[in-house]
Amino acid sequence: MSALSIQQPGKDVIFQFFLNEVLKKSDGSIHKMKNHLDQLTTHFPEIDFSKLLEAFAMGKKTKLKEIILKLIPYFHDNENVLYYLLNRQKELNKFYRKPIVSKLFKELFKGGLSDAKAFLIRKFTQREFHHLLPLIDEKMALLEE
C-alpha cells in the first residue's frame, strides 16, 4: 500500500456514522444513510438491512432500533464504539425512551457496569488516552443513577 492510499473506514467507524445519522435532531441525510447501509451490509452480510433505508426515509424508528440492538454486540470488545455509546447515552436513551446504554453495558459485561468501566479504563490507559479517564468516570456515574 502506498503512502497515498486511502483506507476505507472500519466497521466500527461506519457503525458510529450510522448512529450519528439516526440520532440527528433533524432528518439525517438519505444519501449518507444509503452509503452507511451499503458498507454495513458488506461488513455484516448476516443482517438484513434491505428495509432500513425506507424506514429511515419515512421516520420509522422501530426497525432502526432493532438493527442497532443487533449490531451492538459485535462491538462488545471495541472501546471506541463503547465510548461512543457512553458519550451519546442521553441521545440513545431518548431515542429508545428508556435507559438503553446502561442495559446494554450490563448485558455485554458479566460484571455489569463495573466491568464495562474497568474495560474502558484499561483500553484507553493502554493507548495512553489518559485525558479520557475522568470523562469515563463521569459518564459511567450517570449510568449508575
Q: Is residue 3 part of a domain?
A: no
- The per-residue b/e assignment along 19-56, b for 16 or more CB within 10 angstroms, e otherwise, is bebbbeeeebeeeebeebbebbeeebeeeebeebeebb
Cell numbers 428508556 label which residue? 98
Q: Are residues 65 and 84 in the same domain?
A: no
And the C-alpha cell for 101?
A: 446504554
Are both 15 and 60 inside the same structural domain? yes
pLDDT in tens, 93-143: 999 999 999 999 999 999 999 999 999 999 999 999 999 999 999 999 999
**58 and 89 belong to one structural domain:** no
Assess if residue 128 is contained within a domain: yes
Say which residue the cell 442521553 belongs to: 90
Task: Write the pLDDT tens digit of every residue in 6-57.
Answer: 445 688 888 888 888 888 756 667 778 888 888 888 888 888 888 787 877 7
Residue 93, classified by CB atoms within 10 Å of its CB into exposed (0-12), middle (13-18) or buried (19+), is middle
